[in-house]
Amino acid sequence: MDANLLQWKNQGQSFLSRLRTWVYLLDPSLLLSSDAEILKAHSLIGSTEKLGEKDEVAVNLSLSSSHTGTGAVLPLFFRPPAYLPISGPLVVASLLPHSGVKAALFWQFLLQTYNAGFSYVHRNSSTEKEKKTSLQQLLLIVGTVSYTTCAGALPQIFIDRLRIRSPPLQTFCRSILPIPLSAALAFVNVLTVRHQETETGIQVFDCNGNPAGVSKAAASKAVWETALSRAVLFGTTAAVPNLLVLFLQKRFFQRKLSADGTVSPHQRGARPRNDDPRLLQPLLAGGNDKPGQRGGGAAGRSVGPNLVLPQRTVRGKTSGNVSKLIY
C-alpha cells in the first residue's frame, strides 16, 4: 500500500476529520513547493519512523501534490490546491450572462475540459490496465467534454434560439436552471471519464495494508462517491453567486419602490389640493357687492371672482369691508 493511502487511513473515516484534512490540502501555498520537496515529503511519510507534529507539513504536501495510488508527482494545475483557484473563476464566468452562444460554449469548454483532465489525472491506477491510456479512454474523454460543453450552454441556446424576452423566463434560464445543470454535468463528467475503473476494478487491501485482490464493486463505489461529491461542490458553487445576485436585485427593487413612495405629489404629477392658500388669495381681493348677487354684472360693479378647482367650486363674496368665503 502506498504511503498516501496509509495516511488517508490514519486520518480517520469520519466526515469532520476528512473535511479538516481537505481544508489543509487546499492551501494554495502548497503549489510553491518543488518536485524534489514533494518527493522528499512522500519518502518521509513512507518511512518506518513515527511522525511528529513538525512533520504535518510534509504529510499535507505529500497528500496534496502526489498521486494517492502511485506516489508520482501530480501536474501543477491538476493538484488539489489549484482546483478551486482555477475552477472557481471558470464556474463564475460560465454563469455570467453572455452576449451569444459562442461565448457560452467557450467558457463551458474550458470548464469541462479542466474537470475532465482533473478527473483523469486523479483516477485510480492500481492495476496495469489503468496505468495505460487506451484509444477508447481518449475517445471517451473527448466525447465527455463535447457533450458537457453543449449541455452546459443550453440556457443561452434557449434564450437566443427561442428569443426569450420575458424577464421571469430569462431569470429562470440564467439563474435557476444553471444550478442543477452544473451539478448534473459535474456528476456525468466524473462518471464517464473514470468509467474504465468500474470495468477493470481497483486493488483493495486488508486491514494490515496487504493486497487482497481486485474488486469491481469497490471501484464502482469509489467512482460513484467521487462523482457525487463533485456534483455537490459544483452545485453549491453555482448556487451561491446566483442566489446572491437574485437577493441583491430584490433589495434594490424594494429600495427603489420605497424611494418612489416618498416623492411629493407635485413631483409625481398629482393634482394640487383644493385648500392651497395660494389659490385662494385672489378671492380676498374682491370689492363691495350686494349679497346674493352673482358676478358678471354691469360695469363699475365690484364682483367677487369665481374659481373652479378640480373638485370644488369656490366663490368669493364680499359685503362691506368684510370678506367671506363660501364653499
Terminal-residue alpha carbon distance, the chain: 102
Average pLDDT rounded to a whole number, residues 216-226:
87
pLDDT digits 0-9 by tens, 159-212: 988 888 888 888 888 888 988 999 999 999 999 999 888 888 887 877 766 777
Q: Quick one: CA dihedral 246, 250, 253, 255, positive or negative?
A: negative
Phi first, then psi, for residue 205 (nearest 5°) are -130, 155
Average pLDDT rounded to a whole number, residues 264-269:
46
pLDDT at 280: 47
SS3 per-residue string spanning 79-117: CHHHHHHHHHHHHHHHHCCCCCHHHHHHHHHHHHHHHHH
pLDDT at 1: 57
Q: Give me 232's grid cell.
A: 455537490
Helix (H, G, I), strand (E, B) or coil at 272: coil
| Predicted confidence (pLDDT) at residue 324 exceeds the cutoff of 60 | no
- State how far the Cα of 223 lies from the Cα of 192, in Å rounded to an integer: 10
Confidence grade of residue 48 (pLDDT, cut at 50, 70, 90): low
Strands 211-215 and 313-319: unpaired
Beta strands in the chain (DSSP E): 202-205, 211-215, 306-308, 313-319, 322-326
Confidence grade of residue 51 (pLDDT, cut at 50, 70, 90): low
Q: Report whether 190 contacts 119 (CB < 8 A).
A: yes
Confidence grade of residue 13 (pLDDT, cut at 50, 70, 90): low
pLDDT at 289: 47
Average pLDDT rounded to a whole number, residues 245-263:
65
pLDDT at 145: 95
Report if pTM > 0.85: no
Per the model's pLDDT, the better-predicted residue between 314 and 156 turns out to be: 156
Average pLDDT rounded to a whole number, residues 10-34:
76
Average pLDDT rounded to a whole number, residues 216-228:
87
Q: Give me 176's grid cell.
A: 435557476
- State how far the Cα of 273 lies from the Cα of 174, in Å rounded to an integer: 47
Per the model's pLDDT, the better-predicted residue between 21 and 157 turns out to be: 157
The amino acid that residue 324 corresponds to is K
